[in-house]
Structure 1
């Protein structure tokens, strides 16, 4: 009995171990294991070659408890168990790779390395085309590939670091059926020889950097059924060559076709009017001409496409009076950034019965289109950037109050809500933007499911306690109001909240103290309020925080050292508050490795400049070149049912820029700035500031700094603005600063500097008020010129006499003034005696100087 129980126990142990193993690591799929074993059987091991290192396939076995994911050279996806990598380099393999090798059954392969084996002069098999996962190719694509005359399929798509051009020799590939180069880094123009590819049926070169005109000879590609040229830089008229493409069924182009059902021409830089080519396109379901340079009238034939489900004409320069009555199947309508009006009919119930997405942004509308109130399936509406004024009528929500999920009415002239109904019953509304209008009312309560709520830049007033009803908020922007009262503590407890902007209001009291450990906050902007008290220590729980702006309040606190634990912080604005005391002690530790902007100005910080703090700004120590101008922002994805939107929220702040306070609606990502001005810092400027090589602006003005200006500041080669004014700095201005070629603003006003002002291209442009109130400074632009021996020329006797007479006259007046104090007669007598002696000394000295100088510039 005991033996039986022991046997059962052991059996369970083995069973549990097997289950644990299977759960901990998924077994290799049986068909992939078999494919690898078959591949192994087709080769033999040849250890005689000099490049044979280790026959990895010898460890492969279909027996035992192991699986192929544990074999040498095999890598599997940890979640699915599929073979994704195969490295058989230097594996002593000898044999022939055929087109039907079992290796091509591993359809999930993402990387393969067969280098340094002997494949017996095998040709490259076609089966590699079955391995479609992103190759990761980079560098210049070999032009020799276009020399293979029998090539039928060329697919190098999805290699974003692979550059190259399509050569003229591609015209020799007369058997080429498919050409796919989408999402690469190819450039150049398209050669006319492409038109020789008479068998080409599938062409996709989208998302590259091709440019120029598309050759008119493309009309010869009569076998084309799929064409995508989008997201390039093509120019000119392309309509004329499309008429002959009678087999085209999917295109991001156009054709004279009856069978055409999908037509995409988004972002291909088309110009000119839309031709009247839609008369025969009775089956057209999708028409997308987004983001081109099309202009003129929209053809009337377009409004006759009864099967149309998607119409995208947005971001062009078109104009039209749209007649939507026949588009009974239309579900999505995008007409943004055109000049659009609508045919007005008394009966609107039958218009667009299936429409769920309506975008009419920047269409020069002056009123709400009257058909909106009858759209019973409407989920998304965008009427932003128009000229719609007055109140929002209640009938707008009549048909879609229960279906709306996304509403944007921003940047209009709206003044209120119809019948003063500020709170509408919109149970599914998740995205609401009514910002930048002229609303004059109390703050409307956000819908209960609101994720994005932006009602900034209006004239709202009152308290905001109603915000607490929205527990799913991701982005909340209530800035630029006259809102008052206290900030409700519930905002700190909304775990999903990522962007909080309450700036430029009249909030008072303290900042909420409750922030959960998993807080998602990335941006907190409370600038220009009347907040008091300390910075809440619980903000340390906001590990995702990138931007903190508490400027222009009445916060009373020391420097919040614990902010250093928030390693993602890029900008801290604490200016114009009541912060005080030293920033660091000998025990202080800082880690602001991602810091771009630190503004502590207009406070009462004291002690020496915080060297450890500055030393921790690691992002400022590396100069990163950027191909395009980018801005500091937080990116959020707003998920709605069956759709998702990327929302970019830019950092906004007031900063000193070259001596002037400037409001930034968005801040360049490359801007690096430190502002410690208007405090009580003392001591010397630390040399280590010279390590912050990417710094664009440094402001240490209005402190009590002493010592000299460190020459290490010349290492700040990106520096555009340097303000050291109103301190007690002494010594000379380092001549090395003349090397700062980007320096456009420089100020050392009111110090104790001396010596010559550096000369150079930038220093020659600075005004006199950059240097005044420094008794010892000399040189341009100060009136007290810097004179060196090399600048003095030999004096002629006449010029000596002129200088002598002028000097004697000045002396006469000086002693006359002396005489006024001690007695006029005594002054005259002393003046005559000293003038006689002075004149003899001056003449003697001037002759000696003239004899001692041989020629200008040399002693």
Structure 2
């Protein structure tokens, strides 16, 4: 029967003479399960083409019998979710012309160093090799022999290390080279002209690599004339705009974002008439944006966000017929906005500038708009419902923090009701009162909602089921959390801080498998913290501060193995120090301030608990015994931290750095973190906190004994507060080694002896409080010590010298009761009043960049369209979490 003739089946190709099966294409066939080593697939010894791509074999190891298919010329097993190691036998398939094993799965396919090397050594006919997103985790040997036939090489995001062999740039037929996101890979481009045969190179992507020695302008003269796509994002390029770019006459896509370029955009960019995508975001470019865009009629995407541009909106941008994506976010542009004539425009981000005047009326005619960011400008006037009602494809709308009168209504604009595709809505920092309208629950596409800093009173009528990110902080919400919140299994970030919510926290809130950030700070929750943290919890940030919570810290918190921040400040928690927290090896911030903790801190089992701790605050409790020396000794991030290697990175921002810090590439502004310090009775809010910010606050407890000499080893510590304890002995001379220390408070103890003269070398010390001890002798004299006032030394009757008014500091004694009332210790100098992660109740998620969603894992330029994210949001977040966890494991090694 003809139906039994396999050569007639879809996806099968047979040799016309022998009848042997030579081609098998089952791509996108929804196949799943396991491919066993003895599968009949490996009996097809005449098979030349095998394509199983885009199926789900997540339960299967990489096919170990693949080496039996000796006739293979084309192999495509991409995006099949295989795991395990690739067998050495794959390098024996010497006839292979194309190999694509790319994947996103976790745990990913792994190459051993030997297999990886042999792949290049034996496959001499290879023209296409794509291994993107696999785990190679090795270097390419300098003496490796690449196939001279190689045209396409994709080793993107494969954890390559070491130096890239320069000979890779000399391959005669190479057309496409992608090496991006290998953060430990050093690339040095040849200083000489590459061989004439390399004129065929049309795409070069080195984004996220370490580009050593920069890029020489000679490359643009003759070498890269055929180049159409150049991506050098995040390559640490510095200085003025590279001149060789002006010679790339065929360039269509140029990405120099996330570098340190400065100066102005050169006029020669206006001569690149073939360019379609120009991304220069996240640099230090300045001056006016050149008005040459009328020459760039092919332009579809322009990103100049996060620079220092000034001046007016470039008028030549308003009539480009193919223009789809414009981002000028976060500059200092001013003036009024022109009327737009770009009917093709889909994404418009003008937020975080100083634009003034009305919103252009022409926007209502741009029916293809899907993304609109106009927030945080000085726009004024009214916005009628008709302005956005005709935008049937609108998925993201941000009108936050402007002077638009329509945003000061006490209800939600009616046009939202008709926006069936709206999936991100930001109306933060306005004057919306009352409840969500009943129709709000019918916004089935809505996944991200920011209505923070308004006057909402109820959590009713929200579309809980599909909600992924919810920011309702700083409203007037009251009563208990509604039961529908338990039906939301997709919540990734929840911020309900700074409201009047009460009752007990429902158990279900902690059992979600997806919840990553939970902020319930500054409410009126009471009762115990639910002991319901599930195994493999995804929680990384927990803020329950400033409530009325009681009881001990729940032991199931040990299941939150990815937890970085735990803030329980200002509750009624009664417990000894939970030493079992040492199992949370990723913990960076622990704040137990102002509770009812008691007893000594002893009995740790691990040699190095809390290796990544940066902020450790146990102040205002009843801890006793000696200072927790063994714990403090484990704070490796407070010792010899290299500020240059760690880079300027902040909590809550995406960073793309090499090594262990890569794990911080996460939320990218979706959840802003801040801190409020009290400096000399004056509150100071820091909206961003450097990762280099380190502090230990053990004040207002009952610790006793001497300050250990090893304290000097914490030479990257910025703030140290041991005040209001019962400490005795001398101030350790070793404190001189704390060279980054900016604030030191040892007041209200029983310290004796002299102030070590060696402390005079602490040139960064800006705040010092040694008052109310039993110190004696002269105060060290130096430029730094000469800046401290009498208050730094009060209550030490045997101290003498400047700045004390009497020679021996014989000021009027103050009783201990008066001291406690009149001298608020570090509260007059430096202490925590609020903590991290938006706990200051004055911050928002910062939805201004919706692209943040895909910057969870990649910079903005990784994904080309918001639409892709719209349809694959859940998939990306799940994949992001897997990648994030994989990075945690890599960080430990």
TM-score by length of 2: 0.67
Matched, 1:143 2:181: no
Matched, 1:756 2:756: no
Q: Which residue of 1 aligns with 2:670?
A: 648
- In 2 relative to 1, CA 142–612 (structure 1 residues): closer, same or farther, beyond 3 Å? same
Q: Which residue of 2 aligns with 1:695?
A: 717
- Secondary structure in structure 2 of the residue aligned to 1:681: strand
Q: 1:620 aligns with which of 616, 624, 638?
A: 638
Q: Which residue of 1 aligns with 2:551?
A: 533
Distance, in Å, in 2 between the alignment partners of 1:107 and 1:578 is 57
Distance, in Å, in 2 between the alignment partners of 1:531 and 1:317 is 43
Q: How does 1:793-808 map to 2 (within 5 A)?
A: none
Matched, 1:438 2:455: yes
Contact 2:624-2:701 at 8 Å conserved across structures: yes
Q: Which residue of 1 aligns with 2:205?
A: 157
- In 2 relative to 1, CA 151–209 (structure 1 residues): closer, same or farther, beyond 3 Å? farther
Q: 1:230 aligns with which of 269, 280, 297?
A: 280
Contact 1:708-1:732 at 8 Å conserved across structures: yes
State the Cα distance separating 1:474 from its structure 2 match.
Answer: 2.0
Contact 1:324-1:351 at 8 Å conserved across structures: no
Q: 1:559 aligns with which of 569, 577, 589?
A: 577
Distance, in Å, in 1 between the alignment partners of 2:73 and 2:453 is 65
- Secondary structure in structure 2 of the residue aligned to 1:764: helix
State the Cα distance separating 1:275 from its structure 2 match.
Answer: 5.7
Matched, 1:388 2:439: no
Q: CA RMSD in A?
A: 4.8
- Secondary structure in structure 2 of the residue aligned to 1:755: strand
Distance, in Å, in 2 between the alignment partners of 1:561 and 1:646 is 32
Distance, in Å, in 2 between the alignment partners of 1:213 and 1:80 is 35
Distance, in Å, in 2 between the alignment partners of 1:233 and 1:72 is 40
- Secondary structure in structure 2 of the residue aligned to 1:508: strand
State the Cα distance separating 1:129 from its structure 2 match.
Answer: 3.5
Q: Which residue of 1 aligns with 2:795?
A: 773
State the Cα distance separating 1:330 from its structure 2 match.
Answer: 3.9
Q: Which residue of 1 aligns with 2:651?
A: 632
State the Cα distance separating 1:242 from its structure 2 match.
Answer: 5.4
Contact 2:396-2:422 at 8 Å conserved across structures: no
Q: Which residue of 1 aligns with 2:751?
A: 729
Structure 1 residues 108-161: Cα deviation after superposition (integer angstroms, max 9, x where no partner): 7988999999x9xx9945213455455986366443238979956586531532
Q: Which residue of 2 aligns with 1:515?
A: 533
Q: 1:286 aligns with which of 318, 324, 349?
A: 324
Matched, 1:460 2:477: yes
Q: 2:568 aligns with which of 544, 550, 559?
A: 550
Structure 1 residues 13-53: Cα deviation after superposition (integer angstroms, max 9, x where no partner): 977997999855363697997699xxxxxxxxxxxxxxxxx
- In 2 relative to 1, CA 161–475 (structure 1 residues): closer, same or farther, beyond 3 Å? same
Q: 2:497 aligns with which of 447, 467, 479?
A: 479
Distance, in Å, in 2 between the alignment partners of 1:205 and 1:199 is 15
Matched, 1:607 2:651: no
Q: Which residue of 1 aligns with 2:814?
A: none
State the Cα distance separating 1:565 from its structure 2 match.
Answer: 1.0
State the Cα distance separating 1:364 from its structure 2 match.
Answer: 2.4
Q: 2:222 aligns with which of 161, 164, 173?
A: 173
Q: Which residue of 1 aligns with 2:240?
A: 189
Q: 2:173 aligns with which of 127, 136, 145?
A: 127
Matched, 1:266 2:266: no
Q: Which residue of 2 aligns with 1:833?
A: none
- In 2 relative to 1, CA 29–451 (structure 1 residues): closer, same or farther, beyond 3 Å? farther
Matched, 1:524 2:549: no
Q: How many residues align?
A: 697
State the Cα distance separating 1:725 from its structure 2 match.
Answer: 1.3
- In 2 relative to 1, CA 647–80 (structure 1 residues): closer, same or farther, beyond 3 Å? closer
Contact 1:32-1:83 at 8 Å conserved across structures: no
Q: Which residue of 1 aligns with 2:256?
A: 206
- In 2 relative to 1, CA 133–29 (structure 1 residues): closer, same or farther, beyond 3 Å? farther
More displaced 10-residue stretch of structure 1: 183-192 or 615-624: 183-192
Q: How does 1:768-847 map to 2 (within 5 A)?
A: 768-785=790-807
Structure ID, larger Rg? 1
State the Cα distance separating 1:284 from its structure 2 match.
Answer: 3.0
Structure 1 residues 171-224: Cα deviation after superposition (integer angstroms, max 9, x where no partner): 7539923273632443443577876x49655573532444434554666x5764
Distance, in Å, in 1 between the alignment partners of 2:532 and 2:63 is 39
Structure 1 residues 725-745: Cα deviation after superposition (integer angstroms, max 9, x where no partner): 111111111111111111111
State the Cα distance separating 1:412 from its structure 2 match.
Answer: 0.7
Distance, in Å, in 1 between the alignment partners of 2:684 and 2:155 is 54
State the Cα distance separating 1:768 from its structure 2 match.
Answer: 1.5
Distance, in Å, in 1 between the alignment partners of 2:161 and 2:643 is 34
- In 2 relative to 1, CA 351–27 (structure 1 residues): closer, same or farther, beyond 3 Å? same
Q: How does 1:559-578 map to 2 (within 5 A)?
A: 559-578=577-596
Structure 1 residues 703-746: Cα deviation after superposition (integer angstroms, max 9, x where no partner): 11111111111111111111111111111111111111111112
Q: Which residue of 2 aligns with 1:711?
A: 733
State the Cα distance separating 1:545 from its structure 2 match.
Answer: 1.3
Contact 1:731-1:752 at 8 Å conserved across structures: yes
- In 2 relative to 1, CA 213–116 (structure 1 residues): closer, same or farther, beyond 3 Å? closer
State the Cα distance separating 1:424 from its structure 2 match.
Answer: 3.8
Structure 1 residues 574-632: Cα deviation after superposition (integer angstroms, max 9, x where no partner): 11111111111597866111111111111111111111111121221122315864332
Q: Which residue of 1 aligns with 2:118?
A: 74
Distance, in Å, in 2 between the alignment partners of 1:407 and 1:513 is 34
Distance, in Å, in 1 between the alignment partners of 2:240 and 2:172 is 29
Contact 2:386-2:415 at 8 Å conserved across structures: no
Q: Which residue of 2 aligns with 1:489?
A: 507
Structure 1 residues 516-572: Cα deviation after superposition (integer angstroms, max 9, x where no partner): 112111122121222221111111111111111111122111111111111111111
- In 2 relative to 1, CA 163–332 (structure 1 residues): closer, same or farther, beyond 3 Å? same
User: Which blocks of at least 5 consecutive residues in structure 1 are unaligned?
Assistant: 1-11, 37-55, 252-261, 368-386, 637-643, 788-859
State the Cα distance separating 1:73 from its structure 2 match.
Answer: 3.5
- Secondary structure in structure 1 of the residue aligned to 2:760: helix
Distance, in Å, in 2 between the alignment partners of 1:316 and 1:652 is 22
- In 2 relative to 1, CA 360–681 (structure 1 residues): closer, same or farther, beyond 3 Å? closer
